[in-house]
């Protein structure tokens, strides 16, 4: 009973907030692949395609159990390219995208940039991996919010570390999700709607008397 209630309320909360339902955990073994497609919301329909120009491809490995943002394995690859990794959203992405990243060496950061179908930048973020979380390797959580419909995003890792690991790539890009851009009501529309609702409410109260 309690479980049912929790499930119902969390589903309702997700529907209200348009919360993230899709997550890529990189737990499939894909050693050496240069392109790989993932389903983030478990409906067997592919949602994203990760790729790299590194002919060696990427791997799914470590970095050990003590990380906060990586539940091993994660997606692992080179940091030595200008764009080390890219992700295409096969049905688009809206809202916020986030992921954990770790590196073997300190003083390593990531630039994560989100683009629409016309190569316009919708948002970007930079995160520096640190030991602040208590992990065996420096790590960080990267997160970016944006307006519009994202088509793809790029990762550039830079600094001392020559290899990266990312995990738990999270956002509203699942094939079962509402990916309508700007689906959240704007405050202006709410302000217009509020007096109408108040008027209706007053009329109903009057009718009840």
Q: How far is the CB of 112 from Ca ion (least distance, A)?
A: 12
Nearer to Ca ion, 52 or 115 (CB): 52
- Our finding on whether 154 is near Ca ion (CB under 5 A) is no
How far CA 60 is from CA of 39, 132, 139, in Å, comes to 16, 24, 17
Q: How far is the CB of 3 from Ca ion (least distance, A)?
A: 25
Nearest Cα neighbor of 161 from 112, 110, 104 is: 104
51 Cβ neighbours under 8 A, 6+ residues apart: 34, 35, 36, 85, 86, 87, 88
For the record, the structure tokens of 190 come out as: 């709410």
Q: Are strands 85-103 and 48-51 parallel, antiparallel or unpaired?
A: antiparallel
Nearer to Ca ion, 26 or 195 (CB): 26
For the record, the structure tokens of 99 come out as: 């992921």
Binding Ca ion (rule: CB under 5 A), the pick from 23, 41, 76, 139 is 41
Alpha-carbon gap, residue 47 to 66, rounded angstroms: 29
Nearer to Ca ion, 81 or 123 (CB): 81
Nearer to Ca ion, 59 or 79 (CB): 79
Nearer to Ca ion, 177 or 190 (CB): 177
How far CA 198 is from CA of 140, 157, 188, 208, in Å, comes to 46, 52, 16, 16
Nearer to Ca ion, 125 or 206 (CB): 125
Q: How far is the CB of 187 from Ca ion (least distance, A)?
A: 32
Q: Binders of Ca ion among 11-40, rule CB under 5 A? A: 25-26, 39
Nearest residue by C-beta to Ca ion? Answer: 175
- Our finding on whether 79 is near Ca ion (CB under 5 A) is yes
- Our finding on whether 53 is near Ca ion (CB under 5 A) is no
Q: Are strands 139-159 and 85-103 parallel, antiparallel or unpaired?
A: antiparallel
Q: Binders of Ca ion among 161-180, rule CB under 5 A? A: 167, 175
Binding Ca ion (rule: CB under 5 A), the pick from 23, 88, 156, 177 is 156
Q: Are 74 and 64 in contact (CB under 8 A)?
A: no
Site of interaction with Ca ion (CB under 5 A): 25-26, 39, 41, 43, 45, 47, 71, 79, 84, 156-158, 167, 175
């Amino acid at each position: 009973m309690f479980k049912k209630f929790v499930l119902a309320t969390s589903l309702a909360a997700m529907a209200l907030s348009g919360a993230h339902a899709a997550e890529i955990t990189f737990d499939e073994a894909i050693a050496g692949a240069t392109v790989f497609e993932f389903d983030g919301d478990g409906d067997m329909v592919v949602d994203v395609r990760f790729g790299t120009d590194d002919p060696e491809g990427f791997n799914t490995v470590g970095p050990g159990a003590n990380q906060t943002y990586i539940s091993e394995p994660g997606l692992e690859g080179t940091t030595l390219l200008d764009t080390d990794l890219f992700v295409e959203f096969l049905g688009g992405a809206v809202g916020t995208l986030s992921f954990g990243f770790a590196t073997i060496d300190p003083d390593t950061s990531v630039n994560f940039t989100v683009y629409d179908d016309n190569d316009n930048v919708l948002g970007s973020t930079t995160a520096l991996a640190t030991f602040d979380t208590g992990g065996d390797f420096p790590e960080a959580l990267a997160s970016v919010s944006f307006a519009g419909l994202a088509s793809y995003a790029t990762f550039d890792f830079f600094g001392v570390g020559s290899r990266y690991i990312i995990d738990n790539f999270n956002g509203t890009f699942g094939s079962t999700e509402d990916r309508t851009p700007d689906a959240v009501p704007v405050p202006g529309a709410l302000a217009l709607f509020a007096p109408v609702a108040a008027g209706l409410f007053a009329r109903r109260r009057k009718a009840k008397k």
